[in-house]
Amino acid sequence: MSARETSPSVVPNGSGAAAILAAGIGSFVLAVFAIAGDKIPAFGKSMIFYKPTGPLSGVTTLAIIIWLAAWVIFDRSWSKRTVPLTRISTVALVLLALSLLLMFPPVGDLF
């Protein structure tokens, strides 16, 4: 059977939901870390993984690690299951929208 003919009952939506939620979490964590790195000097200093790039190196590296870890964990838990996709994709898109908002400097500077 080709992939195009595969029915939803054969391929559970869990893996897709895992990928989407993890991307939302990764984006949001990146935004939160970016603000924390800017506003909390000790945190910002601890995020300097590569000196020439400064705190951006640690902020992005940690966010990527958390995103990939979340993806692996959710995928392992959900890959063989059908999960409530509406709720999960809503949460993921809200996290993505929040991350976009928080990354805009005038908004991030409110904290």
Partner 1 sequence: MEISTRAIWTLIHGMGFGGLYLLACSWIIVELWRRYAPDAGIPVTEREERFLKIYLNAMAVLAWLSVLTGAYIVYPWYRALAPAGTANLAGFPQLLLKSNPATSAWHSIGMEWKEHVAWLAPISITMAAGVASKYGGALKHYRQLRNAVLCFVVVSFLAAGIACFFGAEIDDHAPVKGGSIIHVVNER
The dihedral sign for the CA sequence 65, 36, 87, 2: negative
Residue for token digits 């976009």? 100
Q: Which of 39, 73, 76, 104: binder of partner 1 (CB under 8 A)?
A: 104
List the alpha helices (DSSP H) in the chain.
14-39, 41-46, 55-78, 85-103, 105-108
Q: Which two tokens stand for residue 6?
A: 């595969």
Q: Is 54 in the site for partner 1 (CB under 8 A)?
A: yes
**Residues 1-40 close enough to bind partner 1 by CB under 8 A:** 2-8, 10-11, 13, 15-17, 19-20, 22-23, 26-27, 30-31, 34, 38
Q: Which of 63, 70, 74, 78: binder of partner 1 (CB under 8 A)?
A: 63
Q: Is 47 in the site for partner 1 (CB under 8 A)?
A: no
**What's the Cα-to-Cα distance from 9 to each of 13, 85, 95, rounded to whole Å?**
9, 14, 28
- C-alpha span between 89 and 80 (Å, rounded): 18
Question: Which residues lie near partner 1 (CB under 8 A)?
Answer: 2-8, 10-11, 13, 15-17, 19-20, 22-23, 26-27, 30-31, 34, 38, 50, 52-54, 56-57, 59-60, 63-64, 67, 71, 85-86, 89, 92-93, 96, 99-100, 103-106, 108
